[in-house]
Amino acid sequence: MAIYEPLEGAGARRRYRLRSPVTLEPIGELDCMDASDVARALERARKAQPAWAALSFDARAEVLRRCLRLVLERQDRILETVIRETGKTETEAFAMEVFATCDSLCYYAKNAKRFLAPRSERIHGVMGFTKKLRLVYKPLGVVGIIVPWNGPFVLAMNQTAQALMAGNAVLLKGSEVTPYSTALAGEFFRDAGLPDGLLELLMGDGQTGAALVEAGVDKISFTGSVATGRKVAEACGRRLLPVTLELGGKDAMIVCADADLERAAAGALLGSCMNTGQYCCGTERIYVVDEVYERFVDLVVSGAQTLRQTDRGESDIGAIFWDRQLAIIESHVNDAVAKGARVRIGGRRNPKLRGLYYEPTVVTEVTHEMDLMRHETFGPVVAIMRVSDEEEAIRLANDSRYGLNGNVWTRDTEKGFRIAERMQTGGVCINDMALTYGVPEAPFGGVKESGVGQVNGALGLRGYCHLHPMLVDRFGGKKIQGGYPYTAKDLEGMKKFAKFWWGTPLGRWLS
């Protein structure tokens, strides 16, 4: 049964019925906004943005702090909404959607002023004697933010907080399968006192998102699939529009012979199955050196056997958020088995539960000829491959069109750094699962088909700004340096100065 189905004869607007992946029961209907709705939202945002940009960082930060208090006060409502729409376990819903949101709001309220403070930059060489340079971070204007269904509240709150603290207005578009979770962001910022027009919520489907990209905003920040990301990039390219793309991943895990195997096995399970494996930097490929392979597999299988999956009470593994994703997971596992892989545990829908539940699964004897090791699975599947040594592990880890994150497990930290440096990814964790997105100080983004640009921290916040250089002459005077009229004497002087300045050891030292 589809959790997202169009309603026929619903009038001029596209309308969809939504169902919960937990129970498959209807949870509401979504009326999609069209291009005219987006245009009106953009007009309101344009009118509201200048006054917001004129406020101090402290005034903007106070809105984030009030929003933070609301998140803490209304956390039960957040959990109820997110779990109903996504099927996350309660623990993961709290950790990802509430805890991480609180951390983000607090971090940017506290640090944005420092990150975006105007600064003077020393000018090198002879120009440094006569000119001064000042750099100012100016907001872009109105930013379009498109967030996916696997983190519908936290991703909306995190990116919106950054864009607002930079002085922008925001048009926010959530996924059509988790609209109510993303809509909470609009409610919370409004109730925190954010002036009207600064955060416009766009409810709708892919056509609504396309209208946003074409509407005339000043930047697009998109998180989602590679296929949709390409379309967004092409549209932004036509409009010469700045864009940040955080796309899919196929993160590799390398287990060295000297790894703490018990910790590594626990990391493999958590990295592969957290959020039911439906997060962009989930561990999807595990390469284990031959001498510890059997022991590692035994530990992973043993750990998987203890994982609980239920639709009520305490649970470790939640539902698959979308029936379309469940079909992909089944296809990848079935393809692997047909090509010689062995399912050690799981490998099927949970027959005991009504909703979209896929059992935590461990698959071994996998190869790179299998879809499970080539394409993004996005499910609670631990795929383990035997390799002869670390060199083979590195080669196979890099044999992917994706490059978002990865992890290395070894007792020798320096060796871990050396291996990490050779991995073609946006980031690497050593002796831990992928945590980079949850550490704001660490720029987050992918290489290859995993994205363009980086988000979070000072770099991400500055990405919502134009760095505006202002150059001023120190001394003034009647004649501008190098100005009219040009004379042979001046030209000869310039030649002599250049020869000294860059052609002698003393000159180069002075420069």
Active-site residue numbers? 246, 280
In the chain, what is the straight-line distance between the N-terminal and C-terminal CA atoms, in Å? Answer: 71
Rounded distance between C-alpha atoms, residue 199 and residue 143, angstroms: 10
| Sequence-ordered strand ranges (E) for 101-211 | 119-121, 131-139, 142-146, 169-173, 199-202
Query: Other CB atoms closer than 10 Å to residue 417's CB: what's the count?
Result: 13
Q: Three-class SS of residue 141?
A: coil
Question: Do β-strands 451-452 and 429-430 pair in parallel, antiparallel, or remain unpaired?
Answer: unpaired
Residues forming beta bridges with residue 288, ordered by sequence position: 255, 386
Which residues lie closer than 8 Å to 33 by C-beta, 6 or more apart?
Answer: 41, 202, 203, 204, 208, 211
- Rounded Cα gap, residues 287 and 379, in angstroms: 18
Q: Report the alpha-carbon distance of residue 173 to residue 144 in Å, rounded.
A: 8
Structure tokens at 186: 């609009």
Give me the sheet containing 451-452, strands edge to edge: 199-202, 169-173, 142-146, 219-223, 243-246, 451-452
Give the Cα separation of 73 and 4 in Å (integer).
31
Asked if residue 165 lies in contact with residue 175, where contact means CB atoms within 8 angstroms, the answer is no
